[in-house]
């Protein structure tokens, strides 16, 4: 097995951390998502190569057809190195999902600022949020496209994915509810519809070979902004 500068002698895929109980590294197998282990800079670079290689392999071959060999070949590393970080392909995908959901969770709070009805620049704030959402989707597109299959095959991935989507829906629903009277509009359903539109728009744009450019994001922002702000509310488009 290849030696990695981050791994102490004697550690392998089945070895558990010697960290004290309750600490972040306690009882975590080396094969668990490597983001849960303290890594030196070279180890972080190796893990990054493996994660990026996994997305490239999934993009080219699909999740079910991707093998560990495909990942290590793209990453230009060895099977031994791979198994110092992950137990198997599923383990690596869980780490990718943790990374993607962590980044996505940082976005959901921003929608509250984007929907401030008294802020004349609220369209600009919403545009920034949608731009960030788009950048996240494009970065993890191979993973996002596979998440339905992944969630079916792996309950942990399914739970992480649903939790990430839920915080976006809840934030959007809360913003819709606080922007004014909603009448028969159910904010939760509307919030789900907005997130579904953004996700499906990126998926269909990719399928049709249409780039998601600045003009497209402007249009999406205006559509969502008009849904969030009842006519006549200060800051809403006329």
pLDDT tens, the chain, 238 aa long: 444 444 433 343 333 333 333 333 333 333 444 445 555 677 788 889 999 999 999 999 988 899 999 999 999 999 999 998 999 988 898 888 888 888 877 776 666 555 554 454 578 888 888 898 899 889 888 888 877 777 787 888 888 888 878 877 887 887 777 766 666 788 889 889 988 999 999 999 999 999 899 999 999 999 888 877 655 544 444 4
Domain ranges of the chain: 1-87, 95-228
Q: Are 105 and 117 spatial neighbours (Cβ–Cβ below 8 Å)?
A: no
- Which pair of structure tokens corresponds to residue 111? 């929608």
Q: What angle do CA 54, 13, 140 make, to 5 degrees?
A: 20
Q: Which helix (H) or strand (E) holds 88?
A: none
**Class in CATH terms, 1-87:** mainly alpha
Q: Are 154 and 90 spatial neighbours (Cβ–Cβ below 8 Å)?
A: yes
Assign domain 95-228 to its CATH architecture: Orthogonal Bundle (1.10)
- Write down the number of H helices and E strands in the chain: 10, 0
pLDDT of 198 reads 92
Is residue 211 classed as helix, strand or coil in its secondary structure? coil
Q: What angle do CA 59, 208, 200 make, to 5 degrees?
A: 75
Tell me the whole-structure pTM to 2 decimals.
0.70
């Amino acid at each position: 097995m290849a030696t990695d500068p981050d791994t102490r002698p004697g550690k392998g895929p089945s070895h558990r951390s010697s960290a004290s109980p309750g600490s972040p590294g306690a009882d975590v197998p080396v094969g668990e998502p490597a983001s849960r282990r303290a890594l030196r800079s070279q180890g972080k670079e190796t893990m990054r190569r493996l994660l990026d290689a996994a997305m490239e392999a999934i993009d080219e071959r699909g999740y079910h057809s991707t093998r560990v060999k495909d990942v290590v070949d793209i990453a230009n590393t060895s099977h031994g190195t791979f198994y110092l970080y992950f137990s198997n392909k599923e383990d690596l995908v869980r780490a990718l999902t943790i990374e993607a959901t962590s980044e996505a969770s940082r976005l959901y709070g921003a929608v509250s600022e984007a929907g401030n009805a008294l802020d004349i620049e609220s369209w600009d704030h919403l545009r920034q949020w949608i731009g960030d959402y788009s950048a996240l989707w494009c970065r993890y597109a191979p993973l996002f496209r596979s998440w339905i299959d992944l969630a079916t095959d792996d309950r942990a991935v399914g739970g992480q994915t649903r939790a990430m989507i839920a915080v976006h829906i809840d934030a959007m629903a809360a913003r819709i509810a606080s922007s004014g009277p909603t009448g028969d509009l159910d904010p939760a359903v509307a919030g789900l519809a907005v997130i579904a539109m953004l996700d499906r728009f990126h998926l269909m744009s990719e399928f049709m070979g249409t780039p998601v450019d600045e003009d497209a994001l402007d249009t999406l922002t205006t559509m969502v902004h008009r849904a969030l702000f009842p006519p006549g509310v200060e800051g809403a488009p006329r």
